[in-house]
Structure 1
Amino acid sequence: MANHKVIVAGCGGMSNEWLNYAAQRENVEIVALVDLYEETARKAAEKHGLNVPIFSDLSAALAGTEANLVFDVTIPSSHKQIATTALQAGCNVFGEKPMAESLADAQEIVTIANASGKRYSVMQNRRYVGNIRALSGFLRSGGIGTLGTLHADFFLGPHFGGFREAMDSPLLIDMAIHTFDQARFLIGADPVSVYCHEYNPPGSWYAGNASAICLFEMSDGSVFSYRGSWCAQGAPTSWESEWRATGSGGTASWDGDHRPVAEIVDGDEGFFRPTKKVEVPDIWTGKQGHFGCLDAMFEALEQDRPAETDCTDNIKSVAMVFAALESARTGSKIAIRV
């Protein structure tokens, strides 16, 4: 018998991953679908073979079912309302990023989650890629000595259409949190301050700023630099970004697609010290992407502990986004406090 009775809020394209996952997990039962547009929910139910009630309001769905978990796959502007409604009704929540559209709203959600005694975990699927787990393990184990600098480049030119192309800051608001969260994961440290320049280059088809350069100071003394654009056509990077980490004993890099590589110092003489290539061990045995993150969320919930992407941790990644926006707006270096 299922012990996770789930309401899925938001039945657009992103919900497919979540519904496909639920169908494969024996202790999960979908008990209702919620969407402002009931026809969208009906189509999702038909596509996934679900015979469940459909609601246009989450509160009604919570009252009309015995749900104990909500999947929040709604648009970002709805995340605060969905999460707080579910938490205050005594349900745990797994949700898509970002937590909220402002840092204040995200902090309010964390406060409500803590007061409710329930868990709110955030989908950061780009942590759950075998190659980034390998790179993180290598860096944290001292594979290149003490880490000093981490660089990420993200250059793509997707023509989404729709809401992203009308946003004020589409890159920072909608995408950069993935890379910022990956940086925290790779370094094993949290942000202290940021200086950011945001801009919209010639040829951009976005109404808002689609490019940014950010410089973060981290709590361990390291520096994380980010260069990104969503209107860069030609020579694309991976969606995972391209990474370069420099430490006291060498350098590691990852192109976002293939296995990370590393070269470490192998001698103490010469104008340029000799180096040797070393293997970055593959340590991840779990699932990839959404399914890997959902596995980790459920495991944490069933062990009654915070998930790796629990809201109390993820808010630090959210804070990076909003501090970067504030820095770009003011032209100043911004301290990051959560």
Structure 2
Amino acid sequence: MTSTMTEKIDHPTAPGDRLPVVVVGAGAMGTAWIRMLATSPHAVPVGVVDLDLDLAASAVATLGLDGAVVGDSVAEVAERAGAAAVVNVTVPQAHRIVNEQALRAGLPVLCEKPLAPTVAEALRQVAIADLTGGLLMVSQSRRYFNHLAAFRDAVEQLGPLAAVHAQFFHADHEPGFREQMAHPLLVDMSIHHFDMLRYLTDDVPVAVRCSSWNPPWSWFAGDAAATAEFELDSGARFVYSGSRCTPGLQTSWNADWRVYAERGAASWDGDDVVRVDAEGIGFDVPARPEGIEASLEEFVTSLRAGTTPQNEVRANVLSLAMVEGAIRSSERGGERVVVAELLEESLAQAITDEQRDDVAGVLRSWTSAADGIATPAWGSAPAAIASGGAQ
């Protein structure tokens, strides 16, 4: 049963309590988040926002969220529900609008990937976070697989890298906006794999060459297949191949990985098999939450402690730049795209696009895009939420 009261509902936000959050977006992914939150020890869904009020009410009723507030305004629902944070599970085109509304209302945000359709729009969100001082974290949930952590442990012991290879082949049917995207592989799935590369190696993408296409049997409107080669700052190469419409010999959703380095090689099947071919190198598989549950845990923990989480908005921009760089290269016939140049062009575009004077002022204050995403991240002061208030 949804709440129709206009008065604010008070929820405790002291350490150890479940953080009261509003979920924005009641579609399939939003429902998955709400279902997870309903039993989470870290947060509790106290409100659901969607432009389709019937859809939001249905999600609340189906999941038995008695007393949850439903509405179409982030700030209003958060105020009525006594929420201390927002989980943004809207379509990518709506991410910036929702994130800005929440941050301006004093609410930290955990936003589903991809952060934005373009790097320019992502930089505008960095500026909003700078302006408001609020935490904006992107939920790159595939960073949080325990066997990926074990694989990273092994890779760190292999010495300087020569090459990292990742292959992703699947055949998934997702009626809706994904099947209508111009680049459903690169934008909606490869963002995970590119971000995992950054987690795995802690290397920096320098340039990319990419080719994307749509196989004749594809049920996607846009390019569902691609190959890409990234130059990394260390001199190593990241070689990527993927498809969302390959019916046979499918890989894990996390892709299939190989790393070649000075001391040997390591592989991960994307699920639960990590192999190392090198002398004296071992690894441990942690036992901790994975996926969106782990992403939520880090978000809440960072709010409590006032620390900066993985994929705080500034850090996530480079993962998005890998996607946009690959798309640009493909659309230019495989031309080499330099990431630093893409970032600076995106900053100029962000300044042109931004209509709010205060946000535009922050963007203009940066000496470069690199400067903007390297500014001190959120978490330099104790989080206000730890003592009972929203950051």
TM-score (norm 2): 0.79
- Indicate conservation of the 8 Å contact 1:9/1:70, yes or no: yes
* Residue correspondence of structure 1 range 1-80 to structure 2 within 5 A: 2-3=12-13, 4-26=19-41, 28-50=43-65, 51-80=67-96
Query: How many percent identity over aligned positions?
Result: 34
Residue 314 of structure 1 aligns to which amino acid in structure 2?
N
2:222 aligned with 1:199: no
Which residue number in structure 2 is paired with residue 314 of structure 1?
316
Cα distance between partner residues in 1 of 2:216 and 2:28: 31
Residue 10 of structure 1 aligns to which amino acid in structure 2?
G
Distance change in 2, residues 1:11/1:329 (3 Å) = same
Cα distance between partner residues in 2 of 1:209 and 1:129: 28
- Indicate conservation of the 8 Å contact 1:2/1:28, yes or no: no
Cα distance between partner residues in 2 of 1:63 and 1:76: 24
* Residue correspondence of structure 1 range 149-168 to structure 2 within 5 A: 149-168=163-182
Structure 2 residue aligned with 1:99, among 115, 137, 156?
Answer: 115
Cα distance between partner residues in 2 of 1:91 and 1:205: 39
**Structure 1 stretches lacking a partner, 5+ long:** 267-277
* Offset from partner CA, 1:208-247 (integer Å, 9 cap, x none): 1111111111122221111011111111111110100000
Residue aligned with 2:46, SS: strand
Residue aligned with 1:14, SS: helix
- Indicate conservation of the 8 Å contact 2:153/2:284, yes or no: no
Which residue number in structure 2 is paired with residue 336 of structure 1?
339
Cα distance between partner residues in 2 of 1:131 and 1:151: 17
Structure 1 residue aligned with 2:228, among 214, 222, 236?
Answer: 214
Cα distance between partner residues in 2 of 1:249 and 1:236: 30
Cα distance between partner residues in 1 of 2:42 and 2:283: 33
Q: After alignment, is 280-289 or 223-232 more displaced?
A: 280-289
Residue aligned with 1:153, SS: strand
- Indicate conservation of the 8 Å contact 2:46/2:69, yes or no: yes
Which residue number in structure 1 is paired with residue 277 of structure 2?
263
Q: CA deviation at 1:181?
A: 0.4
Distance change in 2, residues 1:27/1:161 (3 Å) = closer
Q: CA deviation at 1:13?
A: 1.8
* Offset from partner CA, 1:227-285 (integer Å, 9 cap, x none): 01111111111111010000011110111122210112x6xxxxxxxxxxx66422423
* Offset from partner CA, 1:187-217 (integer Å, 9 cap, x none): 1112111111111123222221111111111
Q: After alignment, is 129-138 or 201-210 more displaced?
A: 201-210
Which residue number in structure 2 is paired with residue 271 of structure 1?
none
Residue aligned with 1:54, SS: strand
Which structure dedicates a bigger proportion of its chain to strand? 1
Q: CA deviation at 1:125?
A: 1.1
Which residue number in structure 1 is paired with residue 350 of structure 2?
none
2:192 aligned with 1:182: no
Structure 2 residue aligned with 1:324, among 311, 323, 326?
Answer: 326
Cα distance between partner residues in 2 of 1:41 and 1:317: 31
Which residue number in structure 2 is paired with residue 269 of structure 1?
none
Q: CA deviation at 1:292?
A: 1.3
Q: CA deviation at 1:56?
A: 1.5
CA-based RMSD: 1.7
Cα distance between partner residues in 1 of 2:271 and 2:79: 45
Cα distance between partner residues in 2 of 1:112 and 1:47: 35
Cα distance between partner residues in 2 of 1:21 and 1:205: 30
Q: CA deviation at 1:65?
A: 4.4
Which residue number in structure 1 is paired with residue 293 of structure 2?
291
**Structure 2 stretches lacking a partner, 5+ long:** 1-10, 14-18, 344-391
Cα distance between partner residues in 1 of 2:270 and 2:55: 34
Q: CA deviation at 1:45?
A: 1.1
* Offset from partner CA, 1:97-129 (integer Å, 9 cap, x none): 010111111110011112211111111111111
Which residue number in structure 2 is paired with residue 270 of structure 1?
none
* Offset from partner CA, 1:16-70 (integer Å, 9 cap, x none): 3322343334563433211111111111111222212211222432454433211
Residue aligned with 2:288, SS: coil
TM-score (norm 1): 0.91
